[in-house]
Amino acid sequence: MKRSTIRQSRPKPKALLRNIVKHPKGDSYFDAMRVEMEDILERIKAGKSFEESAGENSDCPENSGSLGSFARGTMVQEFEDVVFNLEPGQSSDVFTTQFGFHIAKVTDKKSSIACELADVKEIIVRELRQELEQKAIDNFIDSERKKAVIEDK
């Protein structure tokens, strides 16, 4: 019997961060938005709380700008290039992505670790079962929709 080989990839580092973002509102606002973001950054450098600044100024102020934790390879490249070059506690300069202007602050960084299959097998099996169950439900609903006849009265 041939033994299957699982290709292992290197664990990806994760960053926990906050973000202040201003979404584009057209070309005519581009320069004004950059100036506004530079002003926000100057206030942060002068001692204003990043969290407070995110809550007051970001187009996504929820959770004081917290984006939670994410691994390298899950955000747009321009964003990751900035964030993964910051140290915990450090804020970025103003930078742009396709989503607008940003100021990011890394609150923590963690290296992912490789786990033994035996340690995570139960979790993997549970998640795969849930995925299959959801797919079966979706397929059932789709097939029932195709059979349904909707009449206007």
End-to-end CA distance of the chain: 64
Domain boundaries, the chain: 14-110
Q: What percent of the chain has pLDDT over 70?
A: 92
- Residue 58 near residue 99, CB atoms below 8 Å: no
When pLDDT is cut at 50, 70 and 90, the band that residue 59 belongs to is: very high
pTM, whole model, 2 decimals?
A: 0.65
pLDDT of residue 49 exceeding 90: yes
Region 14-110: CATH code: 3.10.50.40
